[in-house]
Amino acid sequence: MKKKYHISVLLKESIENLNIKKNGIYIDSTFGCGGHSKMILSKLGKKGKLFSFDKDPKVIYFINKIKDKRFFFINQNFSNLHKIKLEGKINGILFDLGLSSFQLDDPKRGFSFINNGPLDMRMNQKEKITALKWIKSTNIKKLNFVLKNFGEEKNSKRLAKAIYEYNKVKPINNTKELSNLIKLNYNQNNIKNKHPATRSFQAIRIYINNELKELECALKYSLKLLSNKGRISIISYHSLEDRIVKNFIKFNNIKYIKNNKNIKKNKLKFIGKFRPSLFEIKNNYRSRSAILRIAEKI
């Protein structure tokens, strides 16, 4: 694998707002290339611990660079946070959602609509269903549903029909073919400084990897794991992720619970919302859509 390096987004803001305790226990639920994990470890004392999750087996290259007895890696999706049997003992949890640069920039992974490669899109390539297999076996109705609901694509019906009909004549085999087909059938009036295939590729990727359900599960478990005054730091990159995060914080917020007296659950206090600075966006263009939200369990 050609090594691509990821610039950690909102690194300072996301870690500082976790209020790291030297002997605390922390979780980086999305290890990626390890930028956030390394920052957390730099703030921990000798008795501190960090558990990092990532479903992509290929992050092992970056894992092997961390030689630290306080560090524990779990090669699983963050929806398996509950497998850490430390309910009420975790001082902070970090989520940096979306793709890492080494995944996006590797044509063989199939995430990019610019670089040609196989239609894969699996975050864990040991899983069975690739984007190619799914597109070949699905129907117009399902295609439309995925493009509309996971990509918020206004052209979903037109694109679903075009993809389905093209695939019957000549199966789509690579990302460039799919990208060009979308571009050819796109309503140009709906383009706002974005590549026409942006939303469709996002939609298929989210569906193939079951990203939204996994996120909902992980957030639910995180509340049980957090200690009193424990914090959760979540970076999202598109409206679907961010909506789930906002609702998670809202429906567990102490003010919401007080106004709905029949609800009994763990309470959260919203700490703040952060966006990348112009300087960060200039140095890392992929950070431009990021939103960081911080909450504390009380």
Q: Could you count the other beta carbons within 10 Å of the beta carbon of residue 207? A: 23
Contacts of 137 (CB under 8 A, 6+ apart): none
Residues 113 and 201 in one domain: yes
Residues 217 and 293 in one domain: yes
pLDDT per residue over 90-128, tens digit each?
999 999 998 888 888 899 999 999 989 999 999 999 999
Boundary residue ending a domain (209, 238, 270):
209
Residues 215 and 205 in one domain: no
Residues 202 and 117 in one domain: yes
Residues 116 and 195 in one domain: yes
Q: How confident is the model at residue 7 (pLDDT cuts 50, 70, 90)?
A: confident
pLDDT per residue over 110-119, tens digit each?
999 998 999 9
Residues 80 and 49 in one domain: yes
Express as a percent the part of the chain with pLDDT over 90.
77
Residues 134 and 63 in one domain: no
Residues 172 and 215 in one domain: no
Residues 51 and 35 in one domain: yes
For the four alpha carbons of 111, 112, 113 and 119, in that order, the dihedral sign comes to: negative
Range of the domain at 200: 107-209
More confident site: 4 or 30? 30
Per-residue confidence (pLDDT) for residue 237, from 0 to 100: 93
The domain that holds 176 is classified in CATH as 1.10.150.170
pLDDT per residue over 23-55, tens digit each?
999 999 999 888 999 999 999 999 999 999 999
The domain that holds 42 is classified in CATH as 3.40.50.150
Contacts of 102 (CB under 8 A, 6+ apart): 1, 3, 4, 5, 6, 32, 33, 58
Boundary residue ending a domain (193, 209, 225):
209
pTM: 0.90
Q: How many domains does the chain have?
A: 2
In a domain, 111, yes or no: yes
pLDDT per residue over 271-281, tens digit each?
999 999 999 99
Q: Provide mean pLDDT across the span 218-237.
A: 95
